[in-house]
């Protein structure tokens, strides 16, 4: 059984490394009128096959092995499990009120996969350091690809890597348009620059914790090499929402690191701030044309983007008003918009509202929305009741009596709690500005993955 546990663990690490790659088999093209809609299209992703293999092996393992420590952890977060199950029930009910039930069932399966991943993360002794290291490595690969795409001003097509060609001169491509030039925003292997940006924000926050906890010289060197690359990749996405999420979550983390009175952590944090500010400052200076264009938001495409977002919010309000009790059904947002229009527009005109909270209210109705908000409130409540003074005093006490191994154990738990709490807060901010945590396979799975790691640390806290 020990060998099977190791197989599951390493398959999990492979899964999270490959997750950003969008290789898939499209087995049904969703249509709105005469056009194709990506939000109604059914796909089987390569990583999805790997995920189901992990599920099968994990079930076999759990039938043979009982872990009482994990049982206690599950008991400590039982309230979350109840809320998750209620959310799944509301999702199932919403399918019966949806205009296209096939779409509803498809998205419900994706939600179930995400919940299964959360249960897997909580119920297996996965290394925090290995998980974070793999995600940072994956972020490094994505950042190198993003830098290449921006410098060459093209995204090359590859069906095996799940990438579509993107050129700055092509209509519909995400660009920053100034008076002088059209700058292609970096996509990485993702379908949109904002998705890449959100992923890199999470990778950067994990990188900070890895740097603080790194014990070997070679680890520190590799992590410091990753820092400028990941920040550069993030910069070339020109995602304002992602940078806001990064600033808020990083400030939260920095405050708690300062309160910890850990001199080593504070020194590393100061170096990270200095290095990060220098890198981003230099990039903003070198590429001030697209940077200032994006920052000011006064050019044609920036104004158009803002106006479209306002339209999306107005559409969401109308859908919520007309379907506040039952919702319009999981995944059926764009279908509902199309059906409500007397004059039909091209399929690409119908987009989900760029806000997960509005989207949940639209698709699941008032009760589904309340359950979703209760999950967030309960998580924030657990953070609020974290006894920081007690844990800091405990760390100092162990250090005073030279119990190094015990001190290191609690120190690691403390910083992982900070890291995944910052990640949770970053995602909450990202959900205000985009929809991919609810509408795209990667976003759905990544949200449940991060939530699972967060609950794993919360289970230790209280």
**Angle value at C-alpha 334, between 142 and 85, nearest 5 degrees:** 75
Beta bridge partners of 45: 24
**Angle value at C-alpha 85, between 84 and 90, nearest 5 degrees:** 95
Q: Is the pLDDT of residue 167 over 90?
A: no
Q: Which residues contact 203 (CB under 8 A, 6 or more apart)?
A: 135, 136, 138, 139, 140, 142, 230
- Mean pLDDT within 236-254: 95
- Mean pLDDT within 233-241: 96
Percent of the chain with pLDDT over 70: 92
Q: Residue 69 corresponds to which tokens in the numbers above?
A: 């420590």
Q: Residue 377 corresponds to which tokens in the numbers above?
A: 């409130």
Q: DSSP E strands: which ranges in 260-406?
A: none
pLDDT tens for each residue of 22-50: 999 998 898 888 888 899 999 999 999 99
Round to whole Å and give the CA distance between 248 and 201: 11
pLDDT for 389: 46
Round to whole Å and give the CA distance between 267 and 406: 22
Q: Which residues contact 163 (CB under 8 A, 6 or more apart)?
A: 22, 155, 156, 157, 187, 189
pLDDT for 181: 85
Task: Evaluate whether 209 touches 418 at the Cβ level (below 8 Å).
Answer: yes
DSSP per residue, 335-361: HHHHHH-SSPPPGGG----S-HHHHHH
- Mean pLDDT within 349-358: 94
Q: Is the pLDDT of residue 448 over 80?
A: yes
Please report, for the chain, the start and end positions of each structural domain, with discontinuous segments joined by +: 2-461
Q: Which residues contact 95 (CB under 8 A, 6 or more apart)?
A: 101, 104, 105, 108, 329, 330
Q: Which of 120-129, 197-206, 288-297, 308-317 has the highest mean pLDDT?
A: 197-206
- Mean pLDDT within 385-412: 55
Beta bridge partners of 166: 155
Element (H, E) at 184: strand 182-184
pLDDT for 398: 52
pLDDT for 68: 63
pLDDT tens for each residue of 50-95: 999 999 999 998 888 776 667 667 777 888 999 999 999 999 999 9
Q: What is the DSSP-derived secondary structure letter of residue 38?
A: G
Q: What is the DSSP-derived secondary structure letter of residue 167?
A: E
Closest CA to 205 of 256, 261, 132, 141: 132
Q: pLDDT higher for 375 or 344?
A: 375
Q: Over the chain, what is the mean pLDDT?
A: 89
Element (H, E) at 28: strand 24-28
Q: Residue 337 corresponds to which tokens in the numbers above?
A: 């918009």
């Amino acid at each position: 059984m020990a060998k099977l546990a190791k197989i599951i663990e390493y398959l999990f690490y492979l899964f999270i490394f490959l997750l950003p790659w969008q290789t898939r088999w499209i087995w049904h093209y969703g249509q709105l009128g005469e056009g194709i809609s990506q939000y109604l299209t059914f796909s089987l992703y390569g990583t999805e096959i790997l995920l189901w293999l992990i599920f099968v092996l994990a079930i076999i393992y759990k039938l043979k092995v009982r872990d009482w420590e994990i049982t206690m952890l599950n008991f400590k977060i039982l309230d979350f499990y109840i809320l998750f199950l209620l959310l799944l029930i509301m999702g199932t009910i919403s399918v019966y009120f949806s205009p296209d039930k096939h779409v509803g069932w498809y998205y419900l399966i994706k939600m179930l996969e995400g919940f299964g991943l959360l249960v897997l993360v909580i119920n297996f002794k996965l290394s925090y350091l290995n998980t974070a290291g793999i995600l940072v490595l994956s972020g490094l690969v994505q950042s190198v690809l993003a830098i290449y795409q921006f410098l060459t001003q093209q995204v090359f097509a590859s069906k095996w890597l799940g990438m579509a060609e993107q050129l700055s001169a092509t209509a519909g491509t995400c660009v920053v348009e100034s008076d002088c030039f059209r700058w292609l925003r970096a996509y990485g292997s993702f379908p949109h620059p904002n998705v890449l940006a959100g992923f890199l924000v999470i990778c950067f926050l994990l990188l900070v914790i890895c740097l603080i906890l790194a014990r070997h010289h070679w680890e520190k060197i590799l992590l410091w090499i990753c820092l400028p690359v990941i920040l550069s990749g993030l910069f070339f996405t020109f995602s304002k929402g992602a940078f806001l999420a990064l600033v808020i979550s990083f400030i939260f983390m920095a405050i708690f690191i300062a309160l910890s009175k850990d001199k080593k952590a504070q020194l590393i944090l100061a170096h990270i701030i200095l290095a990060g500010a220098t890198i981003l400052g230099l990039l903003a200076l070198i590429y001030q044309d697209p940077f200032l264009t994006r920052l000011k938001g006064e050019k044609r495409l920036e104004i158009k983007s803002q106006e479209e977002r306002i339209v999306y919010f107005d559409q969401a309000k109308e859908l919520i008003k007309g379907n506040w009790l039952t919702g319009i059904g999981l995944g059926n947002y764009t279908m509902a918009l199309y059906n409500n229009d007397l004059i039909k527009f091209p399929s690409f005109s119908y987009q989900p509202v760029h806000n997960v909270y509005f989207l949940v209210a639209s698709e699941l109705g008032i009760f589904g929305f309340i359950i979703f908000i209760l999950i967030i409130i309960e998580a924030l409540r657990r953070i609020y009741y974290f006894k920081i003074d007690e844990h800091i005093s405990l760390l100092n006490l162990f250090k005073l009596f030279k119990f190094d191994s015990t001190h290191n154990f609690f120190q690691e738990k403390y910083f992982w709690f900070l890291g995944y709490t910052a990640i949770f807060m970053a995602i909450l901010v990202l959900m205000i500005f985009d929809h991919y945590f609810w509408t795209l396979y990667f976003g759905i799975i990544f949200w449940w993955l991060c939530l699972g790691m967060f609950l794993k640390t919360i289970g230790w806290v209280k």
